Amino acid sequence: MNQADFQTLLPVIVLTVWAALLLIVDLFIDKEKKGITAILAAVGLALTMGISLSQTGQTSLGFSEMVVLDGFSTFVSILLLFSGLMGISIAYGYLKRMGIERGEYYSLILFSIVGMMLMTQAADLIVVFIALELLSIPLYVLAAFANTNASSEESGIKYFLLGAFSGSFVVYGIALVFGATGTTAIAGIAATAAAGTANVPLMLAGSALILVGFGFKVAAVPFQMWTPDVYQGAPTSVTAFMAAGAKIAGFAALMRVFSTAFPSIATDLTPVLAVLAALTMIVGNVAAIAQKNIKRMLAYSSIAHAGYILMAFVAFGNPALVDDAISAAIFYLVAYAVTNFGSWAIVISLEEKEGKGLALDDYAGLWRSNPLMAVAMAVFMLSLTGIPPTLGLIGKIYLFRVVVEGGFIWLAIIGVLTSLISAFYYLRLIVIMFMKDGEPKTTPEGWLDLTWGAMAIATVVFSFIPMSLFAWASEALMK
Amino acid sequence: MDFELLPNLVTFFPLVGVLILFFIKPENKVLIRWVSLLTALATFGISLVLLQQFDANNPALQMVTNLPWITVADWNISYYMGVDGLSILLILLTTFLTPISLLSTWSAIEEREKDFNIFFLMLEVGMLGVFMAQDLFLFYVFWEFTLVPMYFLIGIWGGPQRIYASIKFFLYTMAGSLLMLLAILWLGINQGTFAVPDLIALGGIPAGIQTWLFLAFAIAFAIKVPMWPLHSWLPDAHVQAPTAGSVILAGVLLKMGTYGFVRFNLPLFPEAAVKFAPMMAGLAVVGIIYGAIVSYYQRDIKKLVAYSSISHLGFVMLGLFALNSQGIQGGILQMINHGLSTGALFLLVGMIYEQTHTRNFDVYGGLWKIMPVYGTVMLVVTLSSMGLPGLNGFVGEFTILLGAWGAGMPGEVLGSYWYAGLSAIGVILAAIYMLYMYQKIFLGPEGSIVQTVKEHGHVLRDLSVREIITIVPLLVFIFWIGLYPKPFFALIAPTVDNLVKVLQAAMMH
C-alpha cells in the first residue's frame, strides 16, 4: 500500500477505523448515556466529510486501479456522509422513545456508509460487489433493529432474502461480463468492448443481470415489491436512512458501471432503461394514491422518485449528454435527500409506540397544533411534487431537460403526467394537515426539530439560489 | 446586466407585509387587518409610480431588470423582469383589486385571519411576478407558485365543498402547466435562451414544431382562462372560494391565461397562431354562447357569475385571435373590464351573502325597497357586465367585435363574419341572464329571505360605509373606461401595434 492508494481511499479508511473503534468504545459507555455514542458517530462522519471536502478536485487511482477518486465519488461521498449525519440526528431521540436504543445502531450506520462510499469509488466490478454487501448487511440488521417487534423482524428478513437474491444477480452478471471481456476492471471492460474483442451477447446478458441487481437496490419496477413492506416494518429512522442512502449508493454504482463500462452497448440498453423508468414512475405514483399509512405512501413515493432519476440516466450512451445526465441525477439525489430526511423527521415526530400515529388521518389538524411543522411538511410535499419555490422543482427541471435534450419526449411526457398523479396524493396530505380537524400529538425533540426545520429552509432557500449546487453537481464528473 | 428597482419593488413589496404579519399575534385581528391592507395600498401606490414612469409611446419593454440566475452547464436562465403595454394595465389591476378584496374580508373572514392575509399577500406576489416575468423559466416559477396560496385560500376558507374544489383547481391547472414546462424546456434547449424578447427576436422555429409548442402553451393557458371545454374547474372553484378569493380568481388569475396567450403564444409562435386562429376563435365563440346559456339556468348567484365569466372571457379570446390591432387592444381592455365588473359582482354577492347566508336567488325578491343603495350599485355593475354603452363593458366588447369583424373579411385570418355575428348573440344573452337575475333579486314581491332573516332576529341592512368604500373605486373605473377609454387604449396601443406587425409578417407566409 503506497501513498497514492492511501490517499485515494482515505475517507473510507478513516470511517472504517472510526466505526470499528466505536464498537469497542461503546462497550464502556453507560447504558443510560448512549447519546455519547451518537455524538461520537456524528463526529466521525463530520471528520470524514472534512477529509472528503479537502479532496475536492483531486483525481487518482489506487490499489492496482481497483478504486478511483474523482469529482463524482467525492460529491456523492459527501452526500452520503450528510445522509449519515441526518440519519443519526433523527434516530437519537426516536430510538430512546421506542425503547430500542443500543449503541450498535450507530456503528452499523457507519459501516453501511463505508460500503456506500466504497461503492462510489469502485473501479472494478469485484469492488462493486464487496461494497454492495458491505452496505447491505448492516442495513439488514438495522431493518430488524426493533426485534421482538414482528413487523420489524419481518422487514429485516424480507430485506435480507431479497437483498441476497438480488446480490446473486449482480455476481452472476459480473461473471458473465468477465466471461465476455476477460476482465472485471470497469475501464478494461470498456477498452475490450471498444477494441471489438468482447463477446457482445454475453456482455449484454451480464449487464442486464447487473441492472436487475441494482434495480432491486434502488427499488425500480418490477423489482420494487419489497420496498413498501420493508419501509413500513423497519424502524422509521432506519427507513429514512435506507430511502436516501441506499438509493444514492445504488444509483452511484449504476451510473459508474453503466456509463464507464457499457457505453458500447447503450443502444441496446437505452430502451430497456427507458421502459423501466416509465414503469417505475407509473407504478410508484399510482400505487401511492391508495395508501393510508404514511410510511407506505412515502415508500411508494420513493419508488416513483427512483423512476425519475432513472429517466435522466436513459441518455447515458450519448457522449454529449452523459455528463449532464449524471449531474442531473445527482442534483436530484441531493434534492431528494434533503426533502426525504425532512419529511421522515416529521413522520418520526408524530409516531407513537406500537406503530400508532402513522396513518395519514393522524395528521389531521396538524396545522392547528403545530403550525410550523405543518408548513414544513407542506414544503416537503410540494417539493416532492415539484412545485415552486422548492428544490424539488429545480431538480425535476434539470432531469426533464436532459430527457428532452436526449430526444425522449414520450418519456418526459410520462414523467410530467405521473407528476400530476403524484400531486394528488401529496396534496391529500396537505389537505389532511390543513383542512381537517384533529389533535395530533407531536414529540418536541431538539435534534429532530432542527432536522426538519433546517431541511425545510434548505428546500426553499436553495430553490432561489441553486447556482452553487448546480455548479458543484456539474463538476462531479467521472474520471 | 440591468437593474431597475421599481418593478421589483412592486412585485415583492407585499412580502414586507407578510414579514410583519409573522410577528403579530393571531388574536390581534385589528392590527393584522390594517397591516395587510396598508401593505396592499402601499403596493398600489408604488404601482402608480410605475405607471407614472411608464412611457406609453414606447412599444418596447421598459424598466428592465435582467440578471443571470442559473447559468451553469448551458443553462441560460435569467431573472428578467420588465413592463410593457401588454402588462401595465394588468399589473395595476392586480395591485388595485388586492386592497379592495382585503377590505372585503374584514367581516367575511373570521377564522385564522392572520394566515389568510399571509396567503393573500403571497398570492399577490405570485400574480405580479407572472405579469412582470420576461424569462420563461421565471414565468413558470411564478405561474406555478400562484397555485399554492390560492389552493389554501379555497381549501381552508371556502364553502362546504372546498376541499374538492381546491384539489380540482390545483390539478387542472397543473396538468396544463406541466406540458407547457416541456415546451419551455424544448425552447430553452434548442434556442439557447429562456428570455422571451430574445426568443422573439431569434424566431426561426420551424412551422411544424411551432404547432406543438403552440398547443403545449395553449392548453396551459386555455385551462386557466378557462376556454370551453376546459372550464369545469371554474364553477367549483368560484363557488367554493371565499369572496375575496373569487374576486382575485375572476379578476386576476383568469387573466393570467389570456395574458399568456398575448405574451407568449402570439409573438413566439406567430405562424401557428395564424393557423390556429380560426379554431381558437371558434372555441371562443362556443364559450361565449355556452357560458351565456348555462348562466341563464343557474339559481346560485355566484355560479351564475362564474359561468358568465366563461362567456366574457370568450370575448377576450375572440379579440386576441382576431390577430389585428383592434381585436387585441379590445381583448386586453376587456380583461381589465371583466376584472372590474366581475370583481364588483363577486364583492356584492359576498355582501348580501354575509347577511342572508344563501345565494339561491329564488328566495330573494323586492330587495330594492329595503336596500336602495345596494340595488343601485348592483344595477350599475350588472349593466356594466352586460355591456351597456357608457359603461366599461361596452367599450371592450365593441372593440373586440370590430376586430373580429375586420378579421372576418375575406382573405383575413378568420375569413368569416360568423365569428363576430354569433358572438353578438352572446351580448344579447348576457342582457337576458343578468337582467333576469337582477329582477329576481331586487324587483317583484318581497322574497322569503326577508322573513327568514327576521326569524333569526336580524334585519336586512343596506351597505355599510366600509362596504361602500370597497365598491366605489370599482364604480369609478367602470364609468371612466366607459366614458373616456382613450388613456387606457393609449397605454396598450403601441405595444400591440408592434405585436400585430409580427403577426402580419406571419400571415404573409
User: Is any Cβ of chain A less than 8 angstroms from the Cβ of B75?
Assistant: yes
Q: Tell me the residue type at B54.
A: F
List of chain A residues whose C-beta atoms are within 8 Å of the C-beta of residue B142 = 388
Half-sphere exposure of A416 (CA within 13 A, CB side): 25
The residue of chain B with its CA nearest to that of A428 is: B167
CA distance A445 to A451: 10
Q: Do A423 and B170 touch (CB under 8 A)?
A: yes
Indicate the pTM of the whole model: 0.90
ipTM of the complex: 0.86
CA distance A360 to A354: 16
Q: What average pLDDT does the segment B129-151 reach?
A: 92
Q: How far is B455 from chain A (nearest CA, A)?
A: 32
- pLDDT value of residue A479: 63
Is the predicted pLDDT of residue A109 greater than 70, yes or no?
Answer: yes
List of chain A residues whose C-beta atoms are within 8 Å of the C-beta of residue B178 = 416-417, 419-420
Q: What average pLDDT does the segment A303-315 reach?
A: 89
Q: What average pLDDT does the segment B319-345 reach?
A: 91
Best of B8, B22, B70, B115 to mutate (most A CBs within 10 Å, chain A): B70
Q: Do B182 and A324 touch (CB under 8 A)?
A: no
User: Is any Cβ of chain B less than 8 angstroms from the Cβ of A431?
Assistant: yes
List of chain A residues whose C-beta atoms are within 8 Å of the C-beta of residue B152 = 434
Q: Which of residues 436-475 of A touch B (CB under 8 A)?
A: 466-467, 470-471, 474
Of the candidates A382, A400, A470, the beta carbon closest to that of B70 is on A470
CA distance B111 to A367: 13
Q: What angle do CA B174, B177, B178 make, to 5 degrees?
A: 85
Torsion of CA A148, A149, A155, A161, to 10 degrees: 20
User: Is any Cβ of chain A less than 8 angstroms from the Cβ of B209?
Assistant: no
Q: Do A420 and B170 touch (CB under 8 A)?
A: no
Nearest Cα neighbor of B413 from B272, B283, B311 is B272
So where are chain B's domains? 270-509
pLDDT in tens, B14-30: 999 999 988 888 888 88
pLDDT in tens, B262-311: 999 999 998 888 889 899 999 999 999 999 999 888 888 888 988 999 99
The residue of chain A with its CA nearest to that of B77 is: A467
The residue of chain B with its CA nearest to that of A371 is: B115
User: Is any Cβ of chain B less than 8 angstroms from the Cβ of A417?
Assistant: yes
List of chain A residues whose C-beta atoms are within 8 Å of the C-beta of residue B147 = 387
Cβ–Cβ < 8 Å for A332, A79:
no
Q: Percent of chain B at pLDDT above 70?
A: 99
Q: How far is A474 from chain B (nearest CA, A)?
A: 7
- pLDDT value of residue A206: 92
User: Is any Cβ of chain A less than 8 angstroms from the Cβ of B71?
Assistant: yes
Q: Do B178 and A393 touch (CB under 8 A)?
A: no
Mean pLDDT of all residues in chain B?
Answer: 88
Q: What average pLDDT does the segment B153-158 reach?
A: 87
User: Is any Cβ of chain A less than 8 angstroms from the Cβ of B147?
Assistant: yes
pLDDT in tens, A170-184: 999 999 999 999 899
Of the candidates B72, B152, B179, the beta carbon closest to that of A467 is on B72
- pLDDT value of residue A334: 92
Categorize the per-residue pLDDT at B157 as very low, low, confident or very high, splitting at 50, 70 and 90: confident
User: Is any Cβ of chain A less than 8 angstroms from the Cβ of B181?
Assistant: yes
Best of B22, B127, B141 to mutate (most A CBs within 10 Å, chain A): B141
Q: What angle do CA B391, B395, B396 make, to 5 degrees?
A: 120
Q: What angle do CA B319, B320, B325 make, to 5 degrees?
A: 80
List of chain B residues whose C-beta atoms are within 8 Å of the C-beta of residue A470 = 70, 72-73, 75
The residue of chain A with its CA nearest to that of B74 is: A324
Q: Do A389 and B137 touch (CB under 8 A)?
A: no
What kind and span of H or E run contains A310? helix A294-313
User: Is any Cβ of chain B less than 8 angstroms from the Cβ of A289?
Assistant: no
Q: Percent of chain A at pLDDT above 90?
A: 52
Categorize the per-residue pLDDT at A241 as very low, low, confident or very high, splitting at 50, 70 and 90: very high
- pLDDT value of residue A45: 95
Q: How far is B43 from chain A (nearest CA, A)?
A: 22
Q: Residue B444, by phi and psi: left (phi above 0), alpha (psi -120 to 50) or beta?
A: left
User: Is any Cβ of chain A less than 8 angstroms from the Cβ of B167?
Assistant: yes
User: Is any Cβ of chain A less than 8 angstroms from the Cβ of B30?
Assistant: no
Q: Do B156 and A435 touch (CB under 8 A)?
A: yes
Q: Do A435 and B71 touch (CB under 8 A)?
A: no
3-state SS class at A174: helix
CA distances from A348 to A239, A341, B169 (A): 10, 10, 32
CA distance A5 to A309: 32
| Residue A310: all three cell numbers together | 432513472
List of chain A residues whose C-beta atoms are within 8 Å of the C-beta of residue B170 = 423, 427
List of chain B residues whose C-beta atoms are within 8 Å of the C-beta of residue A382 = 148
Of the candidates B72, B151, B179, the beta carbon closest to that of A474 is on B72
List of chain B residues whose C-beta atoms are within 8 Å of the C-beta of residue A401 = 75, 185, 188-189
User: Is any Cβ of chain B less than 8 angstroms from the Cβ of A405?
Assistant: yes
User: Is any Cβ of chain A less than 8 angstroms from the Cβ of B186?
Assistant: yes
User: Is any Cβ of chain A less than 8 angstroms from the Cβ of B141?
Assistant: yes
Cβ–Cβ < 8 Å for A258, A391:
no
Is the predicted pLDDT of residue A277 greater than 90, yes or no?
Answer: yes
CA distances from B266 to B137, B496, B501 (A): 18, 11, 11
- pLDDT value of residue B73: 66
List of chain A residues whose C-beta atoms are within 8 Å of the C-beta of residue B181 = 397, 400, 416
List of chain B residues whose C-beta atoms are within 8 Å of the C-beta of residue A400 = 181-182, 185
Q: Do A404 and B182 touch (CB under 8 A)?
A: yes
List of chain B residues whose C-beta atoms are within 8 Å of the C-beta of residue A412 = 182, 185
List of chain B residues whose C-beta atoms are within 8 Å of the C-beta of residue A423 = 170-171, 174
The residue of chain A with its CA nearest to that of B216 is: A413
Residue B501 CB partners (closer than 8 Å, separation 6+): none
Q: Do B141 and A389 touch (CB under 8 A)?
A: yes
User: Is any Cβ of chain A less than 8 angstroms from the Cβ of B139?
Assistant: no
pLDDT in tens, B348-396: 988 888 888 888 888 888 888 888 888 899 999 999 988 888 888 889 8
Cβ–Cβ < 8 Å for B405, B420:
yes
User: Is any Cβ of chain B less than 8 angstroms from the Cβ of A412?
Assistant: yes
* CA pseudo-torsion sign A432, A437, A443, A444: positive
CA distance A186 to B2: 49
Categorize the per-residue pLDDT at A1 as very low, low, confident or very high, splitting at 50, 70 and 90: low
Q: What average pLDDT does the segment A131-157 reach?
A: 89
Give residue A423's Cα distance to chain centre: 22
pLDDT in tens, A460-478: 998 888 888 888 887 777 7
The residue of chain A with its CA nearest to that of B180 is: A416
User: Is any Cβ of chain B less than 8 angstroms from the Cβ of A59?
Assistant: no
Is the predicted pLDDT of residue A280 greater than 90, yes or no?
Answer: yes
Task: Tell me chain A's radius of gyration from C-alpha atoms.
Answer: 21
Is the predicted pLDDT of residue B497 greater than 70, yes or no?
Answer: yes
pLDDT in tens, B232-262: 888 888 888 888 888 998 889 999 999 999 9
Q: Which of residues 146-185 of A touch B (CB under 8 A)?
A: none
